[in-house]
Structure formats: structure tokens, C-alpha cells
Amino acid sequence: MNPSLSGGASKPAAIHAGTSVFERLKEYLERVASRNEKAYILADENTKRFCLPVVLAVLPGLHSAEVLEIRAGENKKNLETARMIWDFLEEKGAGRHSVLINIGGGVVTDLGGFAASTFMRGIPFLHVPTTLIGMADAAIGGKTGVNLGTVKNQLGTFHNPEAIFIHTGFLKTLDDTHILGGLAEILKMALVADSHLWDRFRLITFPDLLKTDYDDPVWQDLVITSVALKSRIVEQDFRDENIRAILNFGHTLGHAFESLSLQDDRKPLSHGHAVAMGMICESCLSSMKTGLTDNDLQAIVRMILSGFDYYPLSDDDVHFLFTSIGHDKKRSGGDSRFSLLKFPGEAIPGVTCTPEEILDSIRFYRKFER
């Protein structure tokens, strides 16, 4: 690693994982301290309880760092919480070269990244992802953001952290729902970019994985493979203008499912679960538009429903999904654009689908109601 304090929004982050990860973080922080700069920590109520003590045990020097604890949850990923972070940095005397360490899942890294990238026009920040989604996906690639009402990630920046420190040991305290959510994003990565990873998913099912100890190398392998795939794609298209869009597979409808569940407290749906449901619909669109075979479509649906509960939709919900797609940033003109699969392992970005085709894909989805 070559830790620097200068960086730049699009400069790729140094990514560290494995046994020496805290040693690398220590080196980075020593560099910060040697310049008389301060480190600040952002965590949510769960990561402050479960993950921060792990970090402090190996890095006692961080005990003196100011910590901001925010409430956990997607509905806190908003401008009000960003304002709290800006106020915290301001009140605690942060300067242009102070460092914000974001310890948490995708909500904390998206929020902390957003707040840091806008505070004083951008201060350095680090991600210490603590969920599987965070490690395999959210912390990688420099997208920061907050929701605007129920519209996901409507405000945000492209700004890389200086470095990312991945410790899969944090997964031990994460519940199965959120582990599954991460597996959905890793499955997506396989479907859009890595047929070998898809073959591995076919050999080891979601229920088997959930029974596998988090010290098992399989977790480190899955995370590292996903990080490498995402980094390779982001490197080609940091600002999401062409090829990076393949990572949106499952997300156009997935975000609509997620917005739907945010509307209704009785039906909580994690981000990964929403993406899994979106991938069922968008695999169906792939079979209509980009040549995904029926066999592959069935295999993908079987794989998803082996791990994720079907999310029931009323007729009103279907109407809501359409309205949400209208807000989606991937829409152009009257039709919506999707990233769809040619086959498991290769995707095509920017495929235009009509409202009727989208409705057909939701009809296909609703056939799996049990």
C-alpha cells in the first residue's frame, strides 16, 4: 500500500483484505497522525456495538478519535443524517485534511462518503465495510449518496475513499437476512461478469453457504472475487456512462421493490432481497430481449428462490413499481433502460424495454407466489 493524504475523487482506492488488514489501517493512521491531522469515526448503533470494539482492540490509538453514532437503517440514509455528520465534523474542528473513517454497511459508507466528499468540498475518507454487501459491493467504486424521500440514491457524488479495509470476521455478528442480501449482490456480479463464479454458485447453494463458518476461506474468496470484478468494471467507467451500467442488472426493478417496502413498514425488504426480486423480473426481460435461454432463466429463478422468500405484490403494488421506475435514473423518453443478460456471465447495458414488456416480467414474477 502507498497511503496518501491527497487522493482525488477518481483516484482508485487502495483495497486491503486478509490477515494484515488492521496492520495496513494502522500504517495509514500513523501517517495521518504524523501530519497532526485528526481522524473521526462514523458508525451506526450496531457497528458501534459490534465492530468498533474489534477495531479499537487492535488499534488502541483510535480511542481518542471522536465518534459519531447514527441510527441504523436505510430510512436514515437521508439529508438530515448527512447534516448531522457535517455538523459533527464542523463542531469537532475537522479540517480539509482530517479523515473520516466509515465503519458500517452500505448505509454508513454511502452516507459517510457523501458527507465527507461534500464537507469543505471533499475531505479524505476511509471505508471499513462491515456487511457482506458493504464488502463485496457498496464500499467499492466511489458512488456515495443519500435517498430523497423514497427515491433511492437521488443525491450523491462520485468520490473514491482513500482506502478500503475489508475484514470478513465482522460478518460473524451479522444476521442471515443481511448475509443473504450480500449474496444477492455477489450473485449479480457473477451473472453480469463471471460465468465461473455462476458455476460456483450452482455447486454451493445459499442454504449451504449460510451454514458455512465465517472463518472458512469461501467467504474471503467470494468477497475478493466480487471486489476484483467490480473494480475491473469501475476502472473502465468510473462515472457510470457506459459499461458500469451492467452492475445495475436487477436494480431498476429492485430499487422499485425497495421503494415499495420503504412505503410500508409492514413489509420490510432489505436492499439485497429487493435486488434478488428485481433479478427475477429482469432475467425474464433478458429472456424476452437479449437471448437468455429458458433453461438459464429457470436456473436463475430456482437459485434465487432457494435463498429468498418471494415478496408478494398486490395490484396496487404493481402500480407503485411502475411509478417508481418513472423516477429511476436509467429511464429515457417513454421507455425504461435495463442492463440485461445475454447468458450467465455476460450482460448488455442500456436495453430499452416498453411498459408492456416490464408488465410481462412482473406477471412472470407473480407466478411464483406460493
Ligand X SMILES: NC(=O)c1ccc[n+]([C@@H]2O[C@H](COP(=O)([O-])OP(=O)(O)OC[C@H]3O[C@@H](n4cnc5c(N)ncnc54)[C@H](O)[C@@H]3O)[C@@H](O)[C@H]2O)c1
The window from 135-143, 197-205, 277-285, 288-296 that contacts ligand X (CB under 6 A) reads: 135-143
Q: Which of 88, 119, 165, 170 binds ligand X (CB under 6 A)?
A: 170
The window from 172-180, 205-213, 261-269, 285-293 that contacts ligand X (CB under 6 A) reads: 172-180
Please choose, from the candidates 354, 336, 173, 171, the residue with its C-alpha nearest in 3D space to the C-alpha of residue 256: 336
Q: Which of 14, 28, 39, 44 binds ligand X (CB under 6 A)?
A: 44
Least distance (Å) between residue 123 CB and ligand X: 18
Q: Which of 143, 188, 273, 289 binds ligand X (CB under 6 A)?
A: 143
CA distances from 354 to 173, 330, 337 (A): 43, 13, 9
Contact indicator for 280, 223 with CB cutoff of 8 Å: no
Q: Which of 21, 28, 41, 47 binds ligand X (CB under 6 A)?
A: 47
The window from 28-36, 138-146, 284-292, 341-349 that contacts ligand X (CB under 6 A) reads: 138-146
Residues with Cβ < 8 Å from 216, sequence gap 6 or more? none
Q: Cell for 239? A: 462515472
The window from 61-69, 102-110, 120-128, 332-340 that contacts ligand X (CB under 6 A) reads: 102-110
Q: Please give the size of the binding site for ligand X, defined by CB under 6 A.
A: 31
Contact indicator for 218, 197 with CB cutoff of 8 Å: no
Strands 125-129 and 163-166: parallel
Q: Which of 16, 127, 178, 188 binds ligand X (CB under 6 A)?
A: 178
Q: What is the dihedral of CA 211, 214, 219, 224, to 10 degrees?
A: 160
The window from 10-18, 136-144, 289-297, 336-344 that contacts ligand X (CB under 6 A) reads: 136-144
Least distance (Å) between residue 89 CB and ligand X: 20
- Residue 110 binds ligand X, judged by CB under 6 A: yes
77/289 with CB nearer ligand X? 77
Rounded distance between C-alpha atoms, residue 275 and residue 254, angstroms: 4
User: According to CB under 6 A, which residues from 181 to 210 bind ligand X?
Assistant: 181
User: According to CB under 6 A, which residues from 232 to 271 bind ligand X?
Assistant: 270-271
228/288 with CB nearer ligand X? 228
The window from 40-48, 205-213, 297-305, 333-341 that contacts ligand X (CB under 6 A) reads: 40-48
Least distance (Å) between residue 298 CB and ligand X: 27
Q: Which of 99, 123, 138, 276 binds ligand X (CB under 6 A)?
A: 138
Q: Cell for 142? A: 466511489
User: According to CB under 6 A, which residues from 324 to 363 bind ligand X?
Assistant: none
- Residue 105 binds ligand X, judged by CB under 6 A: yes
Q: Which of 22, 50, 343, 368 binds ligand X (CB under 6 A)?
A: 50
219/364 with CB nearer ligand X? 219
Helices 294-307, 176-193: crossing angle, 10 deg rounding: 160
Residues with Cβ < 8 Å from 275, sequence gap 6 or more? 181, 184, 185, 188, 250, 251, 254
253/297 with CB nearer ligand X? 253
- Contact residues toward ligand X (CB under 6 A) are 44, 46-47, 50-51, 72-74, 77, 104-108, 110, 130-131, 133-134, 137-138, 141, 143, 153, 170, 173-174, 178, 181, 270-271
